[in-house]
Amino acid sequence: MSDVIEKSVSVWALRWRRLAADPAALAGLAVLLILIAVCYAAPLFEAWLDVSATETDLLSRFDPPGGGHWLGSDDAGRDEFTRLLTGGQTSLSIGLLGALGSSLLGTIIGAIAGYARGKTDMVLMRITDGVISLPTLPLLIILAALDLSKLGFSQDFIRSGAAGYWRIVLIVTLLGWTGVARLVRAGTLALAEREFVLAARAQGAGSWWILTVHILPNAVSPVIVATTLAMGRVILAESALSFLGVGIQPPQTSWGSMLTNAQELIGTAPELAIYPGLLILISVIAINFLGDGLQAAFDPRSDAR
Amino acid sequence: MIRFLATRALGAGVTLLVKSFIIFSLIGLMPGDPLDLLIQANPEATPEDVAKLRAIYGVDQPIGERYWSWLTQALHGDFGYSRAQHRPVMEVILPALGNTLILMGLAFVISTIIAVFLGTVAATQKGRLLDRCINLLAYAGISVPSFWLALVLIYLFAVRLGWFPAGGMPQQGEGLHGWAVRLTLPLLALVMVEIGGLTRYARSAMLDVLGQDYIRTSRAKGISTPRLLFRHALRNAMIPIATIIALGFGYLFSGALLIENMFAWRGMGRLILEAIMGNDYNLALVCLLFTTAMILVANILADLAYTWLDPRISLGGRRR
Amino acid sequence: MTHLIEADNLSVRFAVGGGLFRAKREVQAVSDVSLTLNAGETLALVGESGSGKTSFARALLGLSPISSGTVRFEGRDLAAMSAQDRQTMRRSVQAVFQDPFGSLDPRLPISAIIGEPLRIHGIGTARERDARVAELLELVGLPATAKSRYPHQFSGGQRQRIAIARALAPKPRVIVADEPLSALDVSIQSQILNLFVELRERTGIAFFLISHDLAAVHHLADRVAALYLGRVVESAPRDALYSHPAHPYTRALLDSVPRIGMGKRVPGHALGGEIPSPLAPPPGCHFHPRCRFATERCKAEVPTLRPIATDHLTACHHPLLEAA
Ligand SMILES: Nc1ncnc2c1ncn2[C@@H]1O[C@H](COP(=O)(O)OP(=O)(O)OP(=O)(O)O)[C@@H](O)[C@H]1O
Ligand code: SF4
Ligand SMILES: [Mg+2]
């Protein structure tokens, strides 16, 4: 255990120093952290401002900003500000989970392909290429609209909010792992030839040891970058699906689902159609800044530049 | 050359077959059952009638056999009917395909030109204010939800300013002007989304090329900068850019799907969405296959562009 | 008497090429090599680049596929061993590689690197392993503070010391060292060489040393075998080989280095020409295209390895007379 802590000091300290010298990446990180903190503080805001993100109040539809309603109220009289925060919890956490899920799946597939080589590698890479050339959005829509009862899930589960949430995480994982799989495969292929891996094999280390102790830790940097950038793409995909009505279902809410009837709102209360999209834009830009900053910080050549 | 095309076409054909089976199976898992809708429409149907209908539509058979019979029909040119529109699928798809190709083709050309230009400028101005601004624009492009961007454009230019219609296809007799007016906003949205990623690739490809020795040498020899940029550097930078463009075709299509939908543009994207949402299985299936086929063709074209741009590569023995 | 390690007619072949339209071809990296190593002994393997030294060493370590033949460890066939016995054997046979920059995982601190074989084999508690690491650092002449530092903080020679400490960790019976000096500065080479000598004196460990540095080999080895295109062409006790090389190839190898100060030898001829491709080795004696003494017989008939003096074997139809 002490090994792990010691090792994390040297390499990661260096990288953190490089990242800290990149204002755009730092700003991205800060914005992202603030967004997450504020979104998860939604209950506090609700209590403090004495408003509700969920209770409809038909007498105060489209209230202008004022009083406890910092951003006014929506078409069902719910407080827009805290609703945006609640929706943000869903959007951001799906982004994170979907990105982690695809990276995990991609890492497993890539490591197997790169380590086993030969036929296994060929088959797995064929599958990867196949998934890459699928029309992503239409497939996401189909997968999001699939009738889960035909797959043997119970009606209770299907109607629960959790089903809608995890379904999105699952399908973005199923379609999103390919990039990481390629990265990890390439890294594994290169690392498996390195002498320190041969040394470990000569010592009698098994495949699991070699993969987890030597190969994956050395291949992790591009995966971290890819995961970060994937989080942005997942947030965008979730918003599109929810906007089209096949993603997050009421009573759950996300930034995308808040835009479901935005097309009607644009005439009556345009700001209700603007806010959620603006938050998506801000968080995805922040994530992309951070991801690119990480990439530069992880690239040993960036010292030379 | 012919051999290269033949191998690639064969490979693409196999891929398409595999994908058609996957998509076919997935569609089978969509909500409802084509027969339910027929049965609901006719409350007097007896169980025997239902069984008969099932036999006719082949819904009773295992997925493999249903796929096989669909496939043999499709290979004979019969793609079946659209349930919702009561017309042969091809009759529905072809006009939509035309509309999509107009929108996507224009967006493709315009965004490539703009992105390559912006990327080149940014690369030569690396680190300066102009580079930063272009970079920020590119970040915005890759980070914006395209349907929301469309919404904002509609709000600004249709609702507030009233310069353009909020959507819809040009009517008969509106002529070229009608097309121009109705295409502007969807094109604008699609181009704005598309140039983000492309500009970033163009910039980094240009930076790579500009860092190479021969460019530095030519510079030292006093060859003028614009000429150097656009005659020598760009040609080399176009190789990675062309790949990204072609491989990004699927991405462009995803963008087009949402944007067509926002502007009620009757293209493939909107058709796919309507078919999926309206349980029009056969239509959805064929639309998706068309899209997949288009992506495959785009990938082959990318390889051809490769050879055209880089004389060092011969077809078949592609450099990796 | 059972040998510590015994290779019997060992062959290593690699399939190369084999694209979609090209047929696969075979490289015979090692052909029917029989060599033995006794406990506490140092055997050196010499030969030009591409002669198959690394492939042979890797086969011993279980890193290259063995195409035919057997490797025995303390008399027991490796291929027939139980998984558990094989792990025991792995503990006893440790490796040091050529490139000290590549053979240490850049992400691990030195303590984890040196302790790795112990952890793989589940030897000792964490505390005992720490103690062993400290002991090993001292043994190879590195400060105790080295344990919490990282490979990039050390010089090439220090890294090679770390690699040696790692190899020594599970108290092996033999260390297989593949060109352990050639990546180091000349001034460092002798330090590492002296470390080997010292280790051998203190621990009685056996070495299987691969090197093309004949001066270093002379310093360390008890016996020497010369490899050419995958075949052993000569094997003899060190002094016999250095003073009376019987094979024209060995002779040329020795002539091509500055005088090491052995016995009386007429000034000879350095090696001319290039080592042929192992994809298409010449027929008969592989060495004939480059041999000054080649005859018609050499082009047709493969010379077998046979004794010409006690413990001195050579594969040549016309061994050099002075060897007798
Ligand atoms: N993994 C492999 N695949 C294909 N061919 C190989 C492989 N490893 C070695 N060879 C070939 O086998 C032959 C012997 O190589 P080997 O590395 O064993 O020689 P060597 O004596 O160690 O040379 P060097 O002094 O350069 O290290 C060479 O021709 C080499 O190209
Ligand atoms: S066998 Fe003939 S060719 Fe080979 S080394 Fe001896 S003399 Fe030379
Ligand atoms: Mg070698």
Best to test chain B binding among A281, A287, A295, A302 (most B CBs inside 10 Å):
A281
Residue list, ligand 2 pocket, CB within 6 Å: C 247-248, 285, 287-288, 291, 293-294, 298, 303, 316-318
The whole-angstrom distance between A112's CA and the closest CA on chain B is 22
Do A256 and A243 meet the contact criterion of CB atoms below 8 Å apart?
yes
Beta-carbon contacts of C12 under 8 Å, excluding residues fewer than 6 positions away, are C28, C29, C30, C52, C55, C56, C58, C59, C64, C65, C66, C67, C230
Give the confidence band of B1 by pLDDT, cuts at 50, 70, 90.
low
The whole-number pLDDT of residue C210 equals 94
Instruction: State the pairing for strand pair C93-96/C174-178.
Output: parallel
Is pLDDT above 80 for B128? Answer: yes
Average pLDDT over chain C, rounded to an integer: 87
Q: What is the pLDDT of residues A169-195, one digit of tens each?
A: 998 999 889 989 988 998 898 898 888
Enumerate the residues of chain B whose CB falls inside 8 A of the CB of residue A138.
254, 257, 272-273, 276, 287-288, 291
Is pLDDT above 70 for A302? Answer: no
Do C195 and C175 meet the contact criterion of CB atoms below 8 Å apart?
no
Q: What is the pLDDT of residues C14-63, one digit of tens each?
A: 887 655 555 677 888 998 999 999 999 999 999 988 899 999 999 998 88
Report the nearest-CA residue for atom 25 of ligand 1. C49
The whole-angstrom distance between B168's CA and the closest CA on chain A is 14
Structure tokens belonging to residue C290? 């480059």
- DSSP state, residue B159: I
Q: What is the pLDDT of residues C90-136, one digit of tens each?
A: 899 999 998 888 899 988 889 999 999 999 998 888 899 999 999 99
Domains of chain B: 2-89 (no CATH), 93-309 (1.10.3720.10)
Q: Mark residue C47 as left, alpha or beta (left: phi above 0; alpha: psi -120 to 50; beta: remaining).
A: left
Give the confidence band of B60 by pLDDT, cuts at 50, 70, 90.
low
Interchain CB distance below 8 Å, A146 and B26: yes
Interchain CB distance below 8 Å, C87 and A209: no
Give the confidence band of A297 by pLDDT, cuts at 50, 70, 90.
confident
Interchain CB distance below 8 Å, B296 and A133: yes
The whole-angstrom distance between A123's CA and the closest CA on chain B is 13
The whole-number pLDDT of residue B213 equals 65
Give the confidence band of A135 by pLDDT, cuts at 50, 70, 90.
confident
User: Which chains touch C (3+ CB pairs under 8 A)?
Assistant: A
Q: Which of B270, B299, B266, B298 is nearest to B284 (CA)?
A: B270
Beta-carbon contacts of A6 under 8 Å, excluding residues fewer than 6 positions away, are C109, C111, C112, C148
Its ipTM equals 0.84
Is pLDDT above 90 for A256? Answer: no
Domains of chain A: 2-54+67-298 (1.10.3720.10)
- DSSP state, residue C148: G
The whole-number pLDDT of residue B317 equals 43
Interchain CB distance below 8 Å, A202 and C90: yes
Is pLDDT above 90 for C82? Answer: no
Q: Nearest-CA residue of chain C relative to A209?
A: C120
Enumerate the residues of chain A whose CB falls inside 8 A of the CB of residue B34.
none
Which of the two residues, A19 and B306, has the higher pLDDT score? Answer: A19
> What is the DSSP annotation of B221-257?
TT--HHHIIIIIIHHHHHHHHHHHHHHTHHHHHHHHH
CA distances from B88 to A285, B52, B94, B285 (A): 44, 23, 11, 13
Q: What is the pLDDT of residues C15-29, one digit of tens each?
A: 876 555 556 778 889
Give the confidence band of C323 by pLDDT, cuts at 50, 70, 90.
very low
Nearest atom (ligand 1) to Cα of C55 = 18
Which of the two residues, B239 and C227, has the higher pLDDT score? Answer: C227
